[in-house]
Amino acid sequence: MECRGRRVQLTTEKNSRRTQGFVIILVFLFAISALTAAFQFSTVELLQTQLDDAEETIGILEDGISDSQDRINNLVTRLDFNEQLAKSYSEEIQNLRQKLLKRDEAGVSLPSDIIQRQMIAPSVRSKGPLGGFVGVPLFITVEIRPGTGEVLINTEPRTGFDIQSSVRLAAAVAENVTGFTLADRDIVVSIKASEVVEAVDGPSAGAALAVIMVAALEGKEVRPDVMITGTVESGGRIGPVGGIPSKAEAASTAGANIFLIPSGQVEQTVFREVKRTILPGFSITTLEPTSVDFRDFASERWGLRVVEVGHITEALRFSLSNQ
């Protein structure tokens, strides 16, 4: 009996140890399974994050490609425009050469008396101590008379910019366009404004002066409904200026139907009134800068036709009668 009891006890202990072993194995397997699942979950999260980052990067690259394509298209458009402009200038040069040849063959010369032409050119003045500008029309008169190549300038009242260099440059351009020499002529320029002018862009009346001088030399009239702003370079190119919105308003007030501006300046920043309701029955109005196509803006605001011109020959097509 005693031996049988010990045998049963040993069997029970053996079974207990076997059960504990199974439990330990199960716990170990469960732990490994849990760790594997956690690892797989973190791996999936990491892969999802990487996928999201990759999609975001692809989106940025696509936007960059789209922007680059837009820039390429703009460059192609500008290249086409410049090629057409170069072709136009080439044709103008050929026409001028033919004109000079015919003039030399016919023995055409300037008259011996005084030639006078007038044109209105818009400028700007400071609005006040807080800044801002207001357009002011300038009434420009040019007289070309026999002389020794002097340039005389009279301004009423005194203007805030040196017009001497602009007059001489405009005279050189007029000589190139017409084929006449002004070496034996004096140029008298009178500029009248209703108030003191403080120019913001230097010789912005240069293009207008060149137009007036060409009109005088070729015996043509300046159209009173066409006005221009822009610098002028020795080759006849019309350069950029500032204050175009204010000048356009002044031109419209002075009776212009067509306002010529330098090429590339059609995009302008203007201030529009914006009304916001803060509380019921209470609102404020502010002036906020807005970028606009100035051709559309001027047409809607003043019924003014704005035209870009890149060369003095283009300006002459619009500015002179009897073309």
What is the tens place of the pLDDT at every residue in 153-189?
Answer: 888 766 555 677 889 899 999 999 988 888 889 999 9
Give the residue numbers marked as catalytic: 204, 247
pLDDT value, residue 266? 95
Arithmetic mean of pLDDT, 246-257? 95
* Higher per-residue pLDDT: 159 or 260: 260
- pLDDT number for residue 262: 96
Cα 208 to chain center, whole Å?
A: 22
Does residue 203 surpass a pLDDT of 90?
Answer: no
- Cis-peptide, bond into residue 240, ω within 30° of zero: no
**Nearest partner of 305 among 239, 207, 211, 225, judged by Cα:** 225
CA distance 243 to 247: 6
Alpha-carbon 144 to chain mean position: 37
| Mean pLDDT (the chain, rounded) | 80
Instruction: Give the Cα separation of 122 and 168 in Å (integer).
Output: 20
**Domain 115-319 falls under CATH 3.10.129.10:** no
Q: Where are the domains of the chain?
A: 1-108, 115-319
3-state secondary structure 29-78: HHHHHHHHHHHHHHHHHHHHHHHHHHHHHHHHHHHHHHHHHHHHHHHHHH
pLDDT at 235 over 60: yes
- Kind and range of the H or E run holding 218: helix 206-218
Residue 124, number of CB atoms within 10 A of its CB: 26
Q: Report whether pLDDT(202) > 50.
A: no
How many CA atoms does the CB half-sphere of 1 hold within 13 Å? 0
- What average pLDDT score do residues 222-247 get? 93
Question: Phi then psi for 319, rounded to 5 degrees?
Answer: -90, -25
More confident residue, 49 or 15: 49
Task: Write the DSSP symbol of residue 225.
Answer: T
For residues 230 and 205, give the distance between their C-alpha atoms in angstroms, rounded to a whole number: 6
Most confidently predicted of 55-64, 217-226, 277-286: 217-226
d(Cα 144, Cα 185) in Å, to the nearest integer?
A: 6
Q: Are 312 and 173 in contact (CB under 8 A)?
A: yes
67-81, 100-114, 156-170, 278-292: least confident range: 100-114
